[in-house]
Chains A and B, each alone.
Chain A
Amino acid sequence: MISRRDFFKGAGAVAVSTAAVSRVGAASLPEAVVMDNAKTHVPPLPSTGLPFNPVVTLNGWSLPWRMNNGVKEFHLVAEPVVREFAPGMKVNLWGYNGQSPGPTIEVVEGDRVRIFVTNRLPEHTSVHWHGQRLPNGMDGVTGLTQPGIAPGKTFVYEFVARRPGTFMYHPHADEMTQMAMGMMGFWVTHPKDRAKFAVDRDFVFLLSSYDIDPGSYTPKVNTMLDQNLWTFNSRVFPGIDSLPVRQGDRVRIRVGNLTMTNHPIHLHGHEFEVTGTDGGWTHPASRWPEVTTDVGVGQMRAIEFVANEPGDWALHCHKSHHTMNAMGHNVPTLIGVDHRGIAEKIGRIVPDYMVMGDKGGSMGGMEMPIPENTLPMMTGDGPFGGVEMGGMFTVLKVRHDQKRGDYTDPGWYKHPAGTLAYEWTGRLAEPARSADAGRSLMPATSRPDVKLQVRKPSGHGEH
């Protein structure tokens, strides 16, 4: 739900009596529009300015604007927000206009854009328009191209959106803290020619990562690389919306990376081409088919494909730890460790003790109490049980009957007869196995005195 609130009302730091502010002064500032939830909000077609095909921000929204003498005016408010990462987990972040990431800014090539940035953070900030060609003094690097925007102050950025493409915005002031706290947003400059690069569905999201201790609510901003929550637009699976498309749609997915590591984004069921980078549209002759594209740190990638395979197709980062929610990085491996007798002994001291991990990491649907505001490490149920993933994971849902412009979740795919993997119930022949694999090629010169036990599952249960 978008709510329009008068910027001057309820703004603690700048709360002044209405009498003290001239009507002209108040009128000169566009409304700061605020979002109060993390659902995906499909923007309407533009009613003012040049026409364009809006993008759909995954679990996000696009910022309304106002035309002022031919200038497109936006108002961003940098402020502390509470972002829901998934049902059951809320996080104290810094963001823009009520959410983190901030709203997507959509403009058209050649637009003169004026952005008012009001700082309601406890420290100064700035906004850098990542990837844009603009006057140097509008680049938003504190200390280098401008002073910081002090708390309570409003700065105005103004430039012409010269190059069409995919961009981001984020602070260039105390950015390690401010980006660790979620200060970022998406920016799309649409081509002036509405038909150019037109697709049927255009999804956008940012990759961001956080280190939030189980049971806490605020990210640890000083963590360098050992983050434990990996997000699409500050949402983790199963809190991430799916990407519903109509069979045959040409689909574009634009991904920006504001984490501190690369993310191989992998799509199931289709090949795609990388059609856009930070620098703009890729030359058609340079494109090659892919099923995974690595999105480097600070990079943008636009991938495109025709969604012609119906079904529920996973779309995720291929780093397996990035499709997990918070997990203990120092938990030793228990696979194959015989727990007989020990569990009882531990149970005498820790009454609610239960053995886990001795058969692998899968928790097998165990539902045990965990710390507050913490999502299970592997979570999210599909039609066939636990998906056993979290973090950077979502589903591309291709349906032949999904209506044009309809982004509602069509539910789980119903597989036509004969198109679903099934259990073999016939006889199993014992496969031939080598007894001395690698012996002559890889002689072990110093074997530790450890009896390696490889437990090969048989069909008769574990014990």
Chain B
Amino acid sequence: MNSLTKSGLGRLAVAASAALLAGCASFSRDGGIDDVARMTQERIAQPAPLKRDQDTQAVQSEIRTLLSKPVGADAAVRIALLNNQGLQATLADLAISEADFVQAGRLPNPGFGFGRVRGGGETEIDRSLTFNLAALLTLPARSRIEGRRFEQAKLQAAMQSVKLAADTRKAWYGAVAAAQAATFADQVRGSAEAAAELAARMRAAGNWSALDAARERAFYQDALTQQAQARLQATTAREELVRLLGLWGPSIDFTLPDRLPDLPAQPRLAANAEADALSQRLDVLIARQDAQATAQALGLTQTTRFINVFDAGYVNKSTTGAPRENGYEVSLELPLFDWGGARVARAQASYMAAVHRTGDVAVKARSEVRQAYASYRTAYDIARHYRDDIVPLRRQIADEVLLRYNGMLASTFELLAESREQLTAVNAAIAAQRDFWIADTNLQFAMNAGGTTDSRTAQ
């Protein structure tokens, strides 16, 4: 049992810690959420109403209001940011991170021990006052590290929010488009049904062969199958959205608008996209902060040679499919055998590794932005091509076939077949429109958060 009395060493420690505590953190008013909300809002181009507690009356009533009318894309994002429990978990992690940070900035309480041992007719009373010297000595380092980890946690939370917003948007486009496709499948089925019925009546009147009637009937059966598939697709796409919105129970009975938003009049221009991405992308910011942290650790190592803080910068494991684990270890050693030369070399190498990792992220970010822009621009051109050329042409063809039908130059079946072709073209146009909006979201995500590919090197 260690017993320590107030000694010169103790006084030294108290004096040192007092000096260090001057710059020490306390709990913030918002737990970092305001910063996360600000970073998110800058990147999703709409307010990010992040709350740590989604169960308050105000939040629930806002969600109810948003669900009471047809839910647009912005409203869907807002609901997801308020209601998605995965995001809530991240925000809770942020609170843990802040607590760690605050904790790291505080001196551990001195310990007081009192022992009374009685035996063999003797009673021994042992009193001790303990003070964690190691904690005192490593406090500045730990505080700095936890401060950076808290900043990292904010960036990670912002990343999570932006990604949730993007995923929600994409799911919304998918759900609206799939519902439209299901409506079109209903109409195609109606057209095929009319043709099959007419064919059956022509057969009944003796005007048509079994072959011709069977052909129309077969087409109808195909249309039925397609209708079932389209309906399932609509349900699947909607459920994906429901999951991101964090909804269950009666709240899932919300309605969506009938159609996707129109294409913008002009596509965005690619100017400065790469440069903007480098200053905005959260993954770039995270990598840069990593490098800075490692640089500080390097400086610390060079100064003390005895405090091991490398891990702070790079001990963060990311395993595919698992949450990123961050951590650090600080240990104080007695310099009896090792004077720290190898440790300094290691710190330098770690710093260089962090620098290269940042460069790697930057190269990938630039490439991803270019790729996302190419996808965006192509999707825009295709969607516009459908809107301006293909659909009007199909409409014109259908009109011309109707003129031919009027002149008894074409049959009802040709008319119905053409109407189906027209519906198919409109359906493809909607898919192209959906793909455009998804590409638009991907481009924004590539500009602001992280790419569609994993931009971090697996470790």
CB distance from A446 to the nearest CB of B (A): 14
Stretch with Cβ within 8 A of B (4 or more), from A42-50, A148-156, A268-276, A335-343: A335-343
Q: Which of A327, A330, A337, A338 has the most CB of B within 10 A?
A: A337
CB distance from B393 to the nearest CB of A (A): 15
CB distance from B105 to the nearest CB of A (A): 72
Report, as a range, how many residues of chain B touch the other chain: 20 to 34
> Is the CB of B407 closer than 8 A to any CB of chain A?
yes
> Is the CB of B273 closer than 8 A to any CB of chain A?
no
Asked if A338 and B205 sit within 8 Å, CB to CB, the answer is yes
Cβ contacts under 8 Å, B398 to chain A: 350
Asked if A345 and B415 sit within 8 Å, CB to CB, the answer is no
> Is the CB of B412 closer than 8 A to any CB of chain A?
yes
Which positions 152-191 of chain B face chain A at CB distance < 8 Å? 187, 190-191
Cβ contacts under 8 Å, A337 to chain B: 198, 201-202, 204-205, 207
> Is the CB of B203 closer than 8 A to any CB of chain A?
yes
> Is the CB of B406 closer than 8 A to any CB of chain A?
yes
Which positions 318-342 of chain A face chain B at CB distance < 8 Å? 326-328, 330-339, 341-342
CB within 8 A of B407: which of A330, A333, A342, A371? A371
Asked if A453 and B416 sit within 8 Å, CB to CB, the answer is no
CB distance from B197 to the nearest CB of A (A): 5
The answer to whether residues A450 and B204 also contact, given A350-B416, A369-B403 and a CB cut-off of 8 A, is yes
The answer to whether residues A331 and B400 also contact, given A345-B197, A349-B191, A453-B205 and a CB cut-off of 8 A, is no
Cβ contacts under 8 Å, A327 to chain B: 408-409
> Is the CB of B193 closer than 8 A to any CB of chain A?
yes
Asked if B415 and A214 sit within 8 Å, CB to CB, the answer is no
Cβ contacts under 8 Å, A350 to chain B: 398, 402, 415-416, 419
Asked if A326 and B409 sit within 8 Å, CB to CB, the answer is yes
The answer to whether residues A450 and B203 also contact, given A328-B408, A370-B407 and a CB cut-off of 8 A, is yes
Asked if B406 and A370 sit within 8 Å, CB to CB, the answer is yes
CB distance from B284 to the nearest CB of A (A): 53
Asked if A326 and B402 sit within 8 Å, CB to CB, the answer is no
Asked if A346 and B194 sit within 8 Å, CB to CB, the answer is yes
The interface bits of chain B over 354-373 (1 if a CB of A lies within 8 angstroms of the residue's CB, else 0) are 00000000000000000000
The answer to whether residues A328 and B203 also contact, given A214-B409, A346-B412 and a CB cut-off of 8 A, is no
| Residue on B nearest A345 in the bound complex, by CB | B194
| Residue on B nearest A214 in the bound complex, by CB | B409
Asked if A215 and B201 sit within 8 Å, CB to CB, the answer is no
Q: Which of B403, B406, B413 has the most CB of A within 10 A?
A: B406
| Residue on B nearest A353 in the bound complex, by CB | B415
> Is the CB of B404 closer than 8 A to any CB of chain A?
yes
Asked if B407 and A349 sit within 8 Å, CB to CB, the answer is no
Cβ contacts under 8 Å, B404 to chain A: 214-215, 328, 370-371
Once the chains are docked, how many angstroms separate the CA of A374 from the CA of B423? 28
> Is the CB of A356 closer than 8 A to any CB of chain B?
yes
> Is the CB of A451 closer than 8 A to any CB of chain B?
yes
Cβ contacts under 8 Å, A430 to chain B: none
The interface bits of chain A over 341-362 (1 if a CB of B lies within 8 angstroms of the residue's CB, else 0) are 1100110111011101100010
Asked if B416 and A346 sit within 8 Å, CB to CB, the answer is yes
Cβ contacts under 8 Å, A420 to chain B: none
Cβ contacts under 8 Å, B203 to chain A: 450
> Is the CB of B21 closer than 8 A to any CB of chain A?
no
What is the interface of chain B, defined by CB distance below 8 A to chain A?
187, 190-191, 193-194, 197-198, 201-208, 212, 398, 400, 402-413, 415-416, 419, 423
**Chain A to chain B: the 10 pairs with minimum beta-carbon distance, closest first:** A370-B407, A368-B406, A328-B409, A345-B194, A336-B205, A331-B411, A371-B403, A333-B207, A349-B191, A346-B194
Pairs across A and B, CB under 8 Å, 19 listed: A214-B409, A215-B400, A328-B409, A331-B411, A333-B207, A334-B202, A336-B205, A336-B206, A337-B202, A345-B194, A349-B187, A349-B419, A350-B402, A353-B412, A353-B415, A354-B406, A356-B405, A368-B407, A370-B409
Known A333-B202, A334-B412, A353-B412; 10 more pairs at CB < 8 Å: A214-B404, A215-B403, A331-B408, A332-B413, A339-B201, A346-B191, A349-B191, A369-B403, A370-B404, A370-B409
